[in-house]
């Protein structure tokens, strides 16, 4: 029997609006992560990333766990890393500042801990708790952009932090669904951060990058500039909105519109030949035979995706980050399979747009796991890196060192 309380087995659980995904990874002797199992089942009870029906979500987790256990001989999952998301999640940047009081003015690890503690003192909206406090760059007196000030001389030390927070009740609703299955929650991580961790390489973060994870119900985004996280958030739009728009515009049931979307939406500029039609056969979902102009389908889908990209762009512009994004936009999540989506995104963001491949977990590059498993893959990476930080000699700036690279 392999219990995953064994230290070398990590399990990432991502309860998405449409699919619940699990990734099981083993820490190899050489210290790298190896994917040894996974599962993906339909989710019930989640609306726009948040729990709306406790029992149904518990049942979805139950099925995903059973399926994942079947893929690894003798595995019994009793501890997981969980993704948190939904409209309740928000973020902001804050600054901490302390004087260096030692006689020699040399900045020490204790000063770093103190200034980060100072930056964490921020008032959150009522009923919210911080999920992550991610270190950005330091400032020593007038010198900005310092990555590691230990050993430098200075009289004043400042640090920026990015605080991701969420509504307590909403966060607890997610955790309680896992606990109801008698599974321990090892870490809980904003799903967007997990996706970014899975997909962005250090050089992308350094050059500046935007990661979008577009799922069925919501889109998470994370913006890196100069190697650190500057902006994160959730937009309450995803693939379901497009299916819903098609369902209303074409007067067909949602399930049929969802299928139509996956089979026919193509946002490449040459895809919408207006003369072509799609025919839905008689009797399918109880419909009479219906035919639709392909051009109309593309127009409906294009409008919704444009809206989504413009909402994210507005958040980036609000933070004045546009000029800092050299590596461009990386789009993951199930919706990133949509043909031509990157082309449309490029025209809105006016930046290069790429579909990334998760890295850092051997075996996770399997096309079956891309791109829906980004969050789950990122969760095991997060757990692994966090643990390595703890077992390492220097323990300062934990989350900052994970995400700040």
Ligand X SMILES: Nc1ncnc2c1ncn2[C@@H]1O[C@H](COP(=O)(O)OP(=O)(O)OP(=O)(O)O)[C@@H](O)[C@H]1O
Contact footprint for ligand X (CB under 6 A): 16-19, 49, 215-218, 238-240, 258, 262, 333-335, 337-338, 372
d(CA 135, CA 147): 10
**CB-nearer residue toward ligand X: 47 or 152:** 47
Torsion over CA: 283, 287, 291, 293 (sign): negative
Binding mask 326-365 for Mg ion (x = CB under 5 A): ----------------------------------------
Q: Quick check: 83 binds Mg ion (CB under 5 A)?
A: no
Number of residues that bind Mg ion (CB under 5 A): 2
Binding mask 204-223 for Mg ion (x = CB under 5 A): -----------x--------
- Please identify, among the stretches 16-24, 137-145, 179-187, 393-401, the one whose residues bind Mg ion according to the rule CB under 5 A: 16-24
Torsion over CA: 341, 345, 346, 348 (sign): positive
**Which entry of ligand X, Mg ion, none binds 37, CB below 5 to 8 A by partner kind?**
none
**Which entry of ligand X, Mg ion, none binds 36, CB below 5 to 8 A by partner kind?**
none
**Which entry of ligand X, Mg ion, none binds 378, CB below 5 to 8 A by partner kind?**
none
**Furthest CA-CA distance within the chain:** 85
Q: Answer for the pair 231, 92: CB distance below 8 angstroms, yes or no.
A: no
**Which entry of ligand X, Mg ion, none binds 10, CB below 5 to 8 A by partner kind?**
none
**Which entry of Mg ion, ligand X, none binds 337, CB below 5 to 8 A by partner kind?**
ligand X
Q: Quick check: 16 binds Mg ion (CB under 5 A)?
A: yes
Closest distance to ligand X from the beta carbon of 14 (Å):
6
Q: Are strands 9-15 and 2-3 parallel, antiparallel or unpaired?
A: unpaired
**Which entry of ligand X, Mg ion, none binds 226, CB below 5 to 8 A by partner kind?**
none
**Which entry of ligand X, Mg ion, none binds 328, CB below 5 to 8 A by partner kind?**
none
Closest distance to Mg ion from the beta carbon of 52 (Å):
15
Q: Answer for the pair 293, 276: CB distance below 8 angstroms, yes or no.
A: yes
Closest distance to Mg ion from the beta carbon of 374 (Å):
8
- Please identify, among the stretches 13-21, 141-149, 359-367, 385-393, the one whose residues bind Mg ion according to the rule CB under 5 A: 13-21
Closest distance to ligand X from the beta carbon of 4 (Å):
22
Chain residues that interact with Mg ion, rule: CB under 5 A: 16, 215
């Amino acid at each position: 029997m392999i219990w995953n309380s064994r230290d070398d087995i990590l399990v990432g659980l991502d309860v998405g609006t449409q699919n619940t995904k699990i990734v099981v990874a083993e820490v190899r002797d050489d210290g790298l992560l190896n994917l040894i199992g996974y599962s993906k089942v339909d989710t019930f009870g989640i609306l726009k990333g948040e729990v709306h029906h406790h029992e149904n979500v518990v049942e979805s987790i139950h099925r995903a766990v059973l399926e994942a256990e079947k893929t690894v001989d003798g595995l019994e999952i009793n501890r997981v890393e969980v993704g948190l998301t939904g409209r309740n999640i928000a973020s902001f940047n804050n600054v901490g500042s302390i004087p260096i009081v030692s006689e020699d003015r040399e900045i020490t690890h204790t000063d770093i801990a103190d200034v980060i503690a100072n930056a964490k003192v921020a008032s959150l909206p009522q009923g919210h708790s911080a999920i992550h406090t991610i270190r950005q760059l330091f400032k020593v007196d007038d010198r900005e952009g310092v990555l590691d000030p230990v050993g430098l001389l200075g009289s004043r030390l400042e640090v920026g932090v990015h605080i991701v927070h969420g509504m307590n009740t909403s966060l607890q609703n997610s955790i309680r669904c896992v606990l109801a299955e008698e599974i321990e929650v090892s870490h809980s991580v904003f799903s967007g951060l997990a996706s970014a961790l899975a997909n962005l390489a250090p050089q992308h973060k350094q050059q500046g990058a935007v990661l979008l994870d577009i799922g069925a119900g919501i889109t998470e985004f994370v913006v890196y500039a100069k190697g650190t996280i500057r902006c994160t958030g959730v937009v309450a739009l995803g693939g379901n909105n497009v299916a819903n728009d098609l369902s209303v515009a074409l007067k067909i049931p949602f399930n049929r519109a969802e299928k139509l979307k996956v089979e026919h939406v193509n946002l490449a500029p040459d895809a919408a030949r207006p003369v072509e039609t799609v025919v839905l056969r008689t009797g399918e979902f109880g419909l009479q035979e219906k035919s639709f102009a392909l051009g109309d389908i593309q127009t409906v889908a294009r409008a919704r995706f444009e809206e989504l990209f413009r909402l994210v762009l507005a958040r980036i512009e609000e933070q004045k980050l546009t000029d800092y994004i050299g590596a461009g936009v990386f789009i993951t999540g199930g919706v990133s399979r949509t043909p031509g989506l990157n082309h449309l995104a490029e025209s809105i963001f006016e930046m290069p747009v790429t579909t990334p491949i998760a890295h850092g977990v051997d075996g996770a590059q399997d096309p079956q796991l891309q791109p829906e498993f980004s969050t789950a893959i990122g969760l095991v990476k997060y757990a692994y890196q966090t643990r390595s930080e703890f077992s390492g000699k220097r323990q300062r700036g934990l989350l900052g060192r994970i995400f700040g690279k």
